[in-house]
Amino acid sequence: MATDNFNNHEHQVYTRDEDLPFSPDGNDTFIGDRVERVKERRVIGSSGNMLYARKTITINKQNKRAHLQEARTLHRARHGHVVKLIMTYFYEREQDIRFAIIMERADGNLDAYLTGKMSRKKTRNLSRWFGCLVGVVAYIHGLGIRHRDIKPSNILIKDEQVLLADFGISKMGLGKTMPTTIPALPRARTQSYCAPEVESGSTRGRSADVFSLGAVFLEMLIAYSYPAKRQQLEGILSSRGSRSYAKNVDLVHQMIDDIRDSRPDDWVLILVSHIRNMLHTKRDQRPLADELDSAWLCLLPKDEPLAPCICFRMVAAGNDKMIEFCKTGLLPEVRRLLVSGIDPNIIGAIHQASARGFAKIVELFLDHEVDVNLQDDNKQTALHCAAGYGYKEIVEMLLDRNANVGLQDDDGQTALHCAAGHGNMSIVQMLLAKGADVQASNDEGQIALDCAARRGHNDVVRLLLDRTAISNPMAQDSVGRTVLDCVVGYGSEVVAGRLAEFLSKDTMDLQDKHGLSSLHSVTRGVGLESTTTTSADY
């Protein structure tokens, strides 16, 4: 047995069954997908009468680190409305490796409250849980955590409190989410509650969490005030095949409008207005979780039964206090802590300030000799954060202090990937001037040009094409896409045309394993007639 202190929570490695600290609790022990009731074989700390659940995943050696991410995320997301992590361990056997996460056991999940399985008295709790869920999602987003699978079964209930659970596909990182929608590229997700862009193959940003939460909120409202409408909602969600909010969002909006037009109580009007905005088809039109949390904090007694969460307004202490001050831009408080001698190299502090554009705070950290290349839990630096969000002043400040432009985060992204993917032209120029590698590829095999081409950022593409020698335009990323495929997927005629101009005849005639050349891709993308096989006409 080996012990590892992984980000300050207990992690063990076992090779013998008799050494495992937990065993099944009873006969019918499974309470969910890969989750079972367990009991202690030995006492862990001062656990008292705590009941436990164990989530077990069979893994291989290559992805051990990836599965520890869930435990790391749960540990970082400590909050009264997040399921409590007890410990994790690997059980390494000859035939396989099992990864176990031990959590405090809940009484059930939100599904039972939404499907009429609970008494009316218990269902009345739903009204106060809106504020609790808004608060905890705002909290984890503030830490740079995207849950990415919010749904009723991942919202646990214990002692009549909601607990956000199952961060199994969550990601951390304060840098702005890189939208990567490619048509016909589905991603692992819970289809019922995922956002339209996720259904289409995009990464799940924080806005996708807000969409999923909006879907849950609609079902909570119906269970609380309109239980007879549950069947109507289910019919809408399944009207175009499998159950999906994304595929039927127009019909869902109509149902919301019908509720609004029925002259309900004022609190219902407030709630359906938020839900409709949360379920907006365009991700940039959805409210931020922080904005929703602020709206709930401003609720008045007349807005009952809606109310802000008063369960766990956390009092920050130590390093958490510094991070909170950096998140909210409290320059005097940050200065006070730094002057008092607190270590400036607090993981997440300068990252929060950089991601939120608080240049004076970033400057203060630099003056107190923070490590300019300090990486957070997702291996992002302050430069990643500032470059992705377009904060030119902060990027310039960091580069002046010799920030490393080549550092990659957990996804292999450099600051150049972040800036190019979001079309931040001036920042791309600044990074290139400092020697950023245009050929550096992320974990999916994509270079900065891919990121810019995918989003149709034409000026950035032109700049990168002048600096990028595409020796093999048919080179594929980890899922088989070329730069041209990215352009075709987005239908960017300007970018595709520019690529056609850039490619030589020799490269235009190169063929992939299907016998398709670059010319096929370009003409398919921009609707050109492919009656010739030379690049001269383009």
H-run or E-run covering 494: helix 493-502
Query: What pLDDT shows up at residue 369?
Result: 96
Residue 179, CA distances (Å) to 200, 211, 248, 441, 450 in order: 11, 15, 22, 17, 12
Q: Is the peptide bond before 21 cis (omega within 30 degrees of 0)?
A: no
Instruction: Name which residue leads in pLDDT, 507 or 60.
Output: 60
pLDDT at 522 over 50: no
Structure tokens given for 336? 């006070």
User: What gap in Å lies between CA 206 and CA 146, rounded to an integer?
Assistant: 6
Structure tokens given for 144? 């740079």
DSSP 8-state secondary structure symbol assigned to residue 81: T
DSSP 8-state secondary structure symbol assigned to residue 288: P
This prediction has a pTM of 0.73
Q: What does R_g of the chain's alpha carbons equal in angstroms?
A: 25
pLDDT at 26 over 90: no
Return the amino acid letter for 106. A
Q: What does the DSSP assignment read for 136-177?
A: HHHHHHHTTEE-----GGGEEEETTEEEE---TT-EE-SSPP
pLDDT digits (tens, 9 = 90+) for 83-111: 988 888 999 988 889 999 898 999 999 99
User: What gap in Å lies between CA 396 and CA 235, rounded to an integer?
Assistant: 54
Structure tokens given for 295? 């709206």
Query: What pLDDT shows up at residue 456?
Result: 78
Residue closest to 460 by CA, chosen among 412, 508, 426, 496: 426
Considering the chain, what percentage of its residues have pLDDT values greater than 70?
A: 76
Q: Looking at 307-316, 385-394, 492-501, which range is the least confident one?
A: 492-501
Average pLDDT of 338-358? 94
pLDDT digits (tens, 9 = 90+) for 186-199: 344 467 999 998 87
Secondary structure of residue 238 in the 3-state scheme: coil
Average pLDDT of 435-448? 87
Secondary structure of residue 407 in the 3-state scheme: coil
Cα first-last separation, the chain: 65
User: What gap in Å lies between CA 451 and CA 492, rounded to an integer?
Assistant: 13
Query: What pLDDT shows up at residue 164?
Result: 93
For the chain, give the number of residues: 538
pLDDT digits (tens, 9 = 90+) for 172-227: 455 554 443 333 333 444 679 999 988 766 566 789 999 999 999 999 999 999 99
User: 477: left (phi > 0), else alpha (psi -120 to 50), else beta?
Assistant: beta
Beta strands in 60-113 (DSSP E): 85-92, 97-104, 108-109
pLDDT digits (tens, 9 = 90+) for 310-333: 886 555 556 788 988 998 899 999
User: What gap in Å lies between CA 223 and CA 124, rounded to an integer?
Assistant: 9
Beta strands in 214-360 (DSSP E): none
Is 54 within 8 Å of 74 (Cβ atoms)? no
Query: What pLDDT shows up at residue 493?
Result: 58
Instruction: Name which residue leads in pLDDT, 229 or 538.
Output: 229
Query: Buried b / exposed e across 128-147, counting CB within 10 Å, b at 16+?
Result: bbbbbbbbbbbbbbbbbbbb
Query: What pLDDT shows up at residue 305?
Result: 96
Query: What pLDDT shows up at residue 310?
Result: 86
Give the distance between the most distant pair of CA atoms in the chain. 78
Query: What pLDDT shows up at residue 470?
Result: 52
Which residue ranges form the domains of the chain, and what is each CATH number?
Answer: 2-104 (3.30.200.20), 108-303 (1.10.510.10), 319-468 (1.25.40.20), 469-538 (no CATH)
User: What gap in Å lies between CA 145 and CA 164, rounded to an integer?
Assistant: 12
Is 170 within 8 Å of 147 (Cβ atoms)? yes
Average pLDDT of 332-338? 96
Confidence label for 243 from pLDDT (cuts 50, 70 and 90) = very high
Considering the chain, what percentage of its residues have pLDDT values greater than 90?
A: 50
pLDDT at 142 over 60: yes
pLDDT at 528 over 70: no
Mean pLDDT of the chain: 82
pLDDT at 417 over 90: yes
Query: What pLDDT shows up at residue 155?
Result: 95
H-run or E-run covering 247: none
Confidence label for 490 from pLDDT (cuts 50, 70 and 90) = very low
Q: Looking at 31-45, 81-95, 231-245, which range is the least confident one?
A: 31-45
Query: What pLDDT shows up at residue 144?
Result: 76
Query: What pLDDT shows up at residue 515?
Result: 58
Q: Looking at 132-141, 212-221, 386-395, 451-460, which range is the least confident one?
A: 451-460
Instruction: Name which residue leads in pLDDT, 160 or 378.
Output: 160
pLDDT digits (tens, 9 = 90+) for 63-73: 787 777 667 77
Dihedral over alpha carbons 491, 492, 496, 498 (to 10 degrees): 170
